[in-house]
Amino acid sequence: MNFRNLLIASAGASAALMIAGAAEAANTITSSAGASISLIGAISLTKNSDLSFGEVVIPTSSSAVVTVAASNGAVVTSSDTAVHTAGSGPAKFTFVGTTAGDTFNNVSAGSTVTLSDGNSHTLTLTPAIALTGTTGSGPYQVAGATAPVLYVGGSITIPTGATAAAYTGTVNVSLTYP
């Protein structure tokens, strides 16, 4: 931005107002200009549940991939020896403040998330996302009055030599709007 030009413009505008003021006594000139503002409703996400892979038996023959589907929470393991037990589910976020036709974009849960047992043992989670209540594939548009829901699942590769423990981490989701 050129501040010198701005200052000149400001002076020019003041001069024009003074001239108009001087002429007002003799004649009245009325004009109008439109004014508009676009108010964007605040959108927020409420976390309803965390992402859990439940309990998985360490595979014995070769590494195994455990997947929690973002769309429906189904759990699949790539090895019969990596037995999964109950207690899994995708992370769930509900949109707050949306109305039909609102748009948002760049929905992401990151490329990888490190899960740790707090004792130098780690696993790598590759997140996957799913949306309900929207149309399009980016930008997304809110389909109706029902608030959209964002689900985060993902997959974890478990090596045969993994250490038995509870591993935790944090999934960061982000999006932009409008």
Is 45 near other proteins (CB under 8 A)? Answer: yes
Say how far apart CA 136 and CA 152 lie, in whole Å: 18
CB contact set of 118 (below 8 Å; sequence gap of 6+)? 168
Is 91 near other proteins (CB under 8 A)? Answer: yes
Is 165 near other proteins (CB under 8 A)? Answer: yes
CB of 87 to other proteins, least distance (A): 8
Say how far apart CA 89 and CA 51 lie, in whole Å: 6
Cis peptide before 59 (omega within 30 of 0): no
With CB under 8 A as the contact rule, the residue among 14, 62, 72, 170 that binds other proteins is 170
Say how far apart CA 4 and CA 22 lie, in whole Å: 28
Please answer whether residues 43 and 95 qualify as being in contact, where contact means their C-beta atoms are separated by less than 8 angstroms: yes
Is 129 near other proteins (CB under 8 A)? Answer: no
Is 50 near other proteins (CB under 8 A)? Answer: yes
Is 74 near other proteins (CB under 8 A)? Answer: no
CB of 51 to other proteins, least distance (A): 4
Query: With CB under 8 A as the contact rule, which of the stretches 18-26, 102-110, 129-137, 140-148 interacts with other proteins?
Result: 102-110
Please answer whether residues 43 and 133 qualify as being in contact, where contact means their C-beta atoms are separated by less than 8 angstroms: no
Nearest to 59 by CA among 159, 157, 126: 159
Is 144 near other proteins (CB under 8 A)? Answer: no
Is 41 near other proteins (CB under 8 A)? Answer: no
3 state SS of 111 = coil
Point out which residues bind other proteins (CB under 8 A).
1-2, 5-6, 8-10, 12-13, 38, 40, 43-45, 47, 49-60, 66, 81, 83, 85, 91, 93, 104-106, 113, 115, 123, 125, 152, 154, 156, 158, 162-178
